[in-house]
Structure 1
Amino acid sequence: MDFTFTEEQQAVVEAAKALFVDVAPDGVPSPALTPGAVAEDFDRALWSRLAESDLLGVLIDPEHGGVGLDAIALCLVLRESAKVLARVPLLESSAAASAVQAHGGDELRRRILPAAARGELVLTVAANGRTGHDPAELAVTAQRDGGSWVLDGLQTGVPWALDADLVVVPAHTPEGRAVLALVPRGHEGVTVAEQISTTGERLGQLRLTAVHIAATDVIDADGAWDRLRDLLATGTCALALGLGEGVLGMTSEYTGKREQFGHPVATFQAVAMQAADRYIDLRAMEVTLWQAAWRVSTGADGALPTTGDVAVAKIWASEGVRRVAQTAQHLHGGFGADTDYPLHRYHAWAKQLELSLGPAAAHEEALGDLLAAHALG
């Protein structure tokens, strides 16, 4: 495996850095500490700039107005976005569009992909199931009814559900197959209740009651949901890495300026060693991320399915981003507990990313099951 980025991937990184440089990571504090301080919508101005820079179409083929790159390129952009806590549904919309491109029919691709690449159509994915702990595809039932599918069930914690135009909803058929339905937010039988996350961003509880979706808007392909879930988890690892790098940079700057006993605290051995440990965490997060992104991009054969590499990356991402945020708060002293200081918002997002799509323990269990099912020798 070659970790060297291609010229196209490097160009995407430079475009992302140039675009995110003016984004200030102050945003909305935790509603638990500041009641009523909730973001009503994502950053539409930034979303438009992403579209103008072709960064919304990283995974979309050129024939549909996209760039035609892979999951590695998307993760490079996500990494930069997380450094400034960019409030846009870049991961969810890109992943949903990728699923449509890979498994949708010709008419669906023509209708969805160009609009998604231009930023005119915002997509999200319901990936948390009914409780946030159960498999998402089991939370909604899907049954054929002539030329349509009928959906019933509930999905919780859907990111950007109150702002997106379409929600990709995994559901299970009576035969136990997983399908993906593209559900318009205002469709008959669809209700969305507001939920507030610890980051201050709005999530949505999506309830489906006898919702009829045309067969052309339902993806019924083997492995479509598994691949979409792996892409979402890998993208979450990229966000965790970018956030962790932003936090460690903030901590390095602070400890380099803060003085005790006439010396910067960064020169104290206890401080330096803690920062070094977190740097090691970030490098472990990075190498496991690129392994997972490469496997998601290529589907390369290996001793374990792609899900195994994704599980390893998510274990490191969940544990690493938590440790980086905790150490940053500790080394910032009193500023680490100040809810008006930007670090507080990074800590809230770190906790969200740590638990999103399963904490480390859940992926350790999944990895154990995979190893048991694919014993070597």
Structure 2
Amino acid sequence: MDFSFSEEQQAAREAARGVFSSVAPDAVPSPVAAAGPVADDFDRPLWRRLAEADLVGLVTGPEYGGAGLDPIALCLVLAEAGGVLARVPLLETGAAALALQRYAPDELRQSLLPEVGRGGTVLTVAAAGRTGHEPAERAVRARPVRTGGGGWLLDGVQTAVPWPGQADHVLVPAHPADDEGRAVLAVLPREADGMTWADQLSTNGERYGELRLESVRVDAGRMVDAAGAWEWLRDLLTVGTCALALGVARQVVRMTGEYVGKREQFGHPLATFQAVAMQMADRYIDTQAMEATLWQAAWRLGDGGATDGLPVAADVAVAKVWASDGVRRVTQTAQHLHGGFGADIDYPLHRYHAWAKQLELSLGPAAAHEEALGDLLAAHPPA
């Protein structure tokens, strides 16, 4: 069996490397040095270059002006973005666009996806729920409107929504009031009657938002009611977060390898000391495990089939466990081996540590996904 990437996937990765080569990680503002959010906007020039390279519309179909690639291609690009701490809404926009293409009504797809591919429309997703520790679809209730043209009314709270001031539309999961076991997706404009935003500050210094919904009316045509739509989007966001974490971990291992190869103690490079070499070897193994589990999950989300009867959520959970634990161990070891440089807020490693912590906890830490994996294994015993 051939496990190599396709020509199209490799081309997407090379194009991303070309665009991100102009990004200097040490130019990313420090969350410690900044009094508030590190910036009021994302990197618009970089976003334009990504759109010009057809990387924003990477996963949308040719009928919408995109390349029509799969979650693996998106994750290849996201890994390159993570390596330079790229401040762009590529994960949220790409995942939301792919989910809309897969599950949304045709009219909604036609109205949004062409402009998304051109970089003119930014999408985000409210995926953290009310507190960040509960299913996001349980945080918002959707009530059907029986009169006046129909539609739905939404009530609830979603916390930690990324890019709240920049996204043109936000995808909000909810549960119908008459069927709490079902999840629907609402595609809302950034501002609408009954919507209020409160500023929040993330671990890496980025501005997030708490979204409150009070009887927000949504037309039926802007609701995605297909079975499994929210679950698939949530899994894709999780896998994309794993790809960003892989990019961060790879770059941190690279930075640390260069440092211990040049830094000398007692007349010898640090890399020649056995204790240092063993720690670096362990962290390299972490990145390899992060990568292997990431591609397994991304493949399953695309055209991959069943694995021993387990749902794709099991592969996603495994990938997030390795991503969360792996990126934390990599950055901790890097700070230890860098000594004083590891804590210097003017040195790029400090920023990577802040991003690593944010990615570790985003959409659930390792322990939460270990628990979810245990539940899945119990519900799907081997035949």
Q: What is the TM-score when the length of structure 2 is the normalising length?
A: 0.97
1:50-83 CA distance string (max 9 Å, x none): 1100101111001101000100000000000000
Give the corresponding residue for 2:269: 264
| One-letter amino acid of the counterpart of residue 280, structure 2 | A
In the alignment, structure 2 segments of 5+ residues that lack a partner are none
Alignment of 1:243-282 (within 5 A): 243-282=248-287
Pairing 1:330–2:332 present: no
Checking the alignment, whether the CA contact within 8 Å between 1:161 and 1:203 is kept in structure 2 is yes
Give the corresponding residue for 2:193: 188
Alignment of 1:60-79 (within 5 A): 60-79=60-79
Checking the alignment, whether the CA contact within 8 Å between 1:182 and 1:217 is kept in structure 2 is yes
Give the corresponding residue for 1:285: 290
Distance 1:231 1:222 in 2: 16
Higher alpha-carbon deviation: 283-292 or 254-263: 254-263
Distance 1:194 1:115 in 2: 27
Distance 1:161 1:304 in 2: 35
Distance 2:304 2:166 in 1: 32
Alignment of 1:1-377 (within 5 A): 2-26=2-26, 27-31=28-32, 34-36=34-36, 38-146=38-146, 147-174=150-177, 175-176=179-180, 177-302=182-307, 303-377=309-383
CA RMSD of aligned residues (A): 1.0
Query: Cα–Cα, structure 1 residues 368 and 2, in superposed 2: closer, same or farther, change >3 Å?
Result: farther
| One-letter amino acid of the counterpart of residue 23, structure 2 | V
* CA positional deviation for 1:163: 1.1
Checking the alignment, whether the CA contact within 8 Å between 1:329 and 1:337 is kept in structure 2 is yes
Distance 2:259 2:341 in 1: 10
Q: Alignment partner of 2:167: what SS?
A: coil
| One-letter amino acid of the counterpart of residue 237, structure 1 | C
| One-letter amino acid of the counterpart of residue 30, structure 1 | P
Distance 2:80 2:38 in 1: 24
Distance 1:248 1:264 in 2: 17
Checking the alignment, whether the CA contact within 8 Å between 1:3 and 1:290 is kept in structure 2 is no
Of all paired residues, the percent bearing the same amino acid is 66
| One-letter amino acid of the counterpart of residue 253, structure 2 | L
1:308-338 CA distance string (max 9 Å, x none): 0000000000000000000000000000011
Q: Alignment partner of 1:226: what SS?
A: helix
1:33-65 CA distance string (max 9 Å, x none): 542352111111111111100101111001101
Checking the alignment, whether the CA contact within 8 Å between 1:28 and 1:37 is kept in structure 2 is no
Query: Cα–Cα, structure 1 residues 372 and 37, in superposed 2: closer, same or farther, change >3 Å?
Result: closer
1:95-153 CA distance string (max 9 Å, x none): 11111111111111111100100011000000000000010000001111142111011
* CA positional deviation for 1:264: 1.2
Q: Alignment partner of 1:172: what SS?
A: strand
Distance 1:194 1:25 in 2: 25
* CA positional deviation for 1:268: 1.1
Distance 1:251 1:67 in 2: 36
Moved over 6 A (4+): none
| One-letter amino acid of the counterpart of residue 45, structure 2 | A
Distance 1:113 1:299 in 2: 25
Checking the alignment, whether the CA contact within 8 Å between 1:28 and 1:199 is kept in structure 2 is no
Distance 1:285 1:110 in 2: 36
Q: Alignment partner of 1:57: what SS?
A: coil
1:240-289 CA distance string (max 9 Å, x none): 11100010111111111111112111111111110010000000010000
Distance 1:359 1:113 in 2: 32
Checking the alignment, whether the CA contact within 8 Å between 1:47 and 1:88 is kept in structure 2 is yes
Q: Alignment partner of 1:56: what SS?
A: coil
* CA positional deviation for 1:6: 0.4
Q: Alignment partner of 1:80: what SS?
A: helix
Q: Alignment partner of 1:193: what SS?
A: strand
